């Protein structure tokens, strides 16, 4: 499959209430690799098997939540084209100069009708995963530190105007709809799962009255056993667990939802199926089956899934 246009999730910037506590949590409990700290006081992380300098950035603020979520695009020409396409579509864009984030090239920033700030960028310094390019071992000791996810996989965001958001992702940014949950009347989508790749989702949105909310950032684990080990590590560290370990009906992903010390939900996740972009019929869940969509074994629409966001 040719991968062009928008390639994949690139970075999320998340607000935390206490930076020191959050650094300890993300470094030692989630097991991310700390890669830097900038003049604004932001701390940068990546997952052990990611090669680019950063994928998860935190900054201290008086409320939790997400500042922005970014996608990496193929190259500079693609960045310019998507910027122009967004403007033609009627979306105002802004250029953030290279270097504003550590080791990161110029970014194109825009706001979705859901109130979420999105970014596109083409360049980020490759620092590698600690393994040689020639004859690498399959993993490093870093994988054994804390939960140790492989990569930032996707995010689920809550806000209004999901139908408009879907149009922007599918008509401008080259995503396709993989799954959806219908509203109770069956007329609209209550939640959508969108992919720009062969992944079951790169980003998802759920309809919610308040703008710009974070439901979760998700981190990929290599196996179900690693998800269960993540659960053990959460309990050993008294992490607040929301749901799981279980399996979503939607995406078939195997999951645990939990909260960081500031109340930002994150997910440790594995599996799901691999759709191709010629997928023309999104899997559709009726609202009365939302419980299976969220937690297939228990068939339970956990209250927190609908109401707790940051």
Which residues are tagged catalytic? 154, 201, 216, 248, 257, 267
Kindly tell me the burial class for residue 260, based on how many C-beta atoms sit within 10 Å of its own C-beta (0-12, 13-18, 19 or more): buried
Q: Is 195 in the site for ligand M3P (CB under 6 A)?
A: no
Question: What would the two tokens of residue 102 be?
Answer: 């550590």
What is the 8-class DSSP label of residue 83?
H
Partner interacting with residue 251 (select from ligand M3P, Fe ion, none; CB below 5-8 Å by kind): ligand M3P
Partner interacting with residue 250 (select from ligand M3P, Fe ion, none; CB below 5-8 Å by kind): ligand M3P
CB of 250 to Fe ion, least distance (A): 9
> Applying CB under 6 A, which of residues 33, 172, 178, 294 lies at the interface with ligand M3P?
294
- C-alpha span between 124 and 72 (Å, rounded): 9
Nearer to Fe ion, 242 or 267 (CB): 267
Nearer to Fe ion, 173 or 256 (CB): 256
Q: Is 180 in the site for ligand M3P (CB under 6 A)?
A: no
- C-alpha span between 37 and 281 (Å, rounded): 44
Strand arrangement, sheet containing 93-96: 33-37, 43-46, 56-60, 6-16, 65-73, 117-121, 107-111, 93-96
For residue 29, give the 3-state DSSP assignment: helix
Q: Determine the distance from the C-alpha atom of residue 98 to the mean position of all C-alpha atoms in its chain, rounded to a whole number.
A: 22
Nearer to ligand M3P, 105 or 244 (CB): 244
Partner interacting with residue 294 (select from ligand M3P, Fe ion, none; CB below 5-8 Å by kind): ligand M3P
Footprint of ligand M3P on residues 239-278 (CB under 6 A)? Answer: 248, 250-251, 253, 267, 269
Q: What one-character-per-residue DSSP string does 36-73 give?
A: EE-TT--EEEE-TT--BS-SEEEEE-SS-EEEEEEEEE
CB of 156 to Fe ion, least distance (A): 5
Q: Is 218 in the site for ligand M3P (CB under 6 A)?
A: yes
Q: Are 37 and 87 in contact (CB under 8 A)?
A: no
> Applying CB under 6 A, which of residues 152, 156, 173, 256 lies at the interface with ligand M3P?
156
> Using CB under 6 A as the criterion, which residues of the chain lie in contact with ligand M3P when the complex forms?
156, 218, 248, 250-251, 253, 267, 269, 290, 293-294
């Amino acid at each position: 499959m040719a991968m062009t246009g928008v390639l994949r999730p690139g970075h999320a910037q998340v607000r935390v209430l206490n930076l020191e506590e959050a650094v300890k949590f993300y470094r030692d409990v989630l097991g991310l690799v700390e890669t830097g700290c900038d003049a604004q006081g932001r701390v940068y992380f990546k997952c052990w098997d990611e090669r680019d300098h950063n994928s998860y950035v935190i900054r201290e603020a008086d409320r939790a939540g997400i500042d922005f979520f970014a996608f990496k695009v193929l190259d500079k020409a693609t960045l310019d084209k998507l910027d122009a396409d967004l403007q033609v579509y009627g979306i105002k864009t802004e250029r953030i100069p290279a270097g504003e984030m550590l080791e990161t090239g110029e970014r194109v920033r825009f706001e979705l009708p859901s109130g979420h700030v999105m970014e596109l960028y083409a360049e980020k310094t490759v620092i590698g995963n600690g393994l040689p390019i020639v004859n690498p071992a399959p993993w490093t000791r870093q994988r054994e530190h804390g939960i140790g996810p492989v990569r930032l996989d996707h995010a689920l965001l809550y806000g209004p105007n999901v139908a408009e958001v879907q149009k922007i992702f599918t008509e401008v940014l080259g995503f396709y709809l993989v799954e959806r949950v219908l509203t109770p009347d069956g007329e609209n989508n209550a939640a959508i799962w969108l992919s720009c790749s062969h992944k079951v989702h790169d980003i998802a949105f759920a309809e919610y009255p308040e703008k710009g909310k974070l439901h979760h950032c998700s981190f990929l684990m290599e196996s179900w056993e690693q998800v269960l080990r993540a659960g053990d590590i959460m309990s050993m560290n008294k992490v607040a667990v929301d749901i799981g370990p279980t399996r979503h009906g939607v995406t078939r992903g195997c999951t645990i939802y939990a909260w960081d010390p500031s109340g930002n939900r994150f997910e440790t996740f594995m599996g799901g199926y691999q759709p191709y972009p010629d997928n023309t019929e999104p899997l559709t869940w009726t609202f009365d089956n939302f419980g299976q969509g969220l937690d297939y074994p228990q068939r339970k629409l956990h209250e927190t899934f609908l109401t707790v966001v940051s």
